[in-house]
Homo-oligomer: A and B are copies of this chain.
Amino acid sequence: MPTATDPQLAAFVAAFDDFVRAAKRARARVEPDAALTTSQYDLLAPLLDADDAPLGLRELARAAGVSAPTATRMIDGLALRGTVTRERAADDRRAVRIALTADGRAAVLEHRERLLARRRALFDHLSPGDRRSAAKVLARLAAAYEEIDA
């Protein structure tokens, strides 16, 4: 297997690895004192974007990229702690409507603000030139991911 002899590829791979490791360490440092875990935030964030209109369990699961049973279990815990409410829908008795409580909304907003602050701090640490290219490169990489297994 002809492996990375291309120095440009080698540099890319090394930088990518460093980036992934740094991001992982950073996540570990941020999470412990947060009210929500990353997975919980990913599950609930759509409720914020939906202007707090209640959404179905399947909808949340799909958006977060987890299975329905996983979402059920997560919502179990979040409902117990008063982060969300879960009610049977009146019009379709199979469905449930999940909504944020006031506390839940505050927690999700706080997490979002925390994420934004971190990205802002990263941005601030870049040189003006790097700032310009960073957004472009990250967008291209995201697109490349999708193309790879499409």
Q: Could you give, for residues 1-29 of chain A, a 1 whenever the CB lies within 8 Å of some chain B CB and a 0 otherwise? A: 10110001101111110110111111011
Q: Specify how many copies of this chain sit in the oligomer.
A: 2
Are A139 and B15 interface neighbours, CB within 8 A? Answer: yes
A69 at the interface (CB under 8 A from B): no
A144 at the interface (CB under 8 A from B): yes
Q: How far is the CA of A62 from the CA of B66 in the complex (A)?
A: 30
Closest chain B CB from A142 CB (angstroms): 4
A118 at the interface (CB under 8 A from B): yes
Within 8 A of B (CB), among A94-146: 113, 116, 118-123, 125-127, 130-146
Q: How far is the CA of A133 from the CA of B12 in the complex (A)?
A: 9
Are B122 and A141 interface neighbours, CB within 8 A? Answer: yes
Residue of B nearest to A149 (CB): B29
**From B14, B130, B145, contact of A25 by CB (8 A):** B145
Are A133 and B133 interface neighbours, CB within 8 A? Answer: yes
Q: How far is the CA of A134 from the CA of B26 in the complex (A)?
A: 21
Are B135 and A148 interface neighbours, CB within 8 A? Answer: no
Between A29, A134, A147, the greatest number of chain B beta carbons within 10 A of the residue's beta carbon is seen for A134
Q: Closest 7 A-B residue pairs measured CB to CB?
A: A125-B144, A22-B145, A15-B138, A18-B142, A15-B139, A11-B135, A22-B142
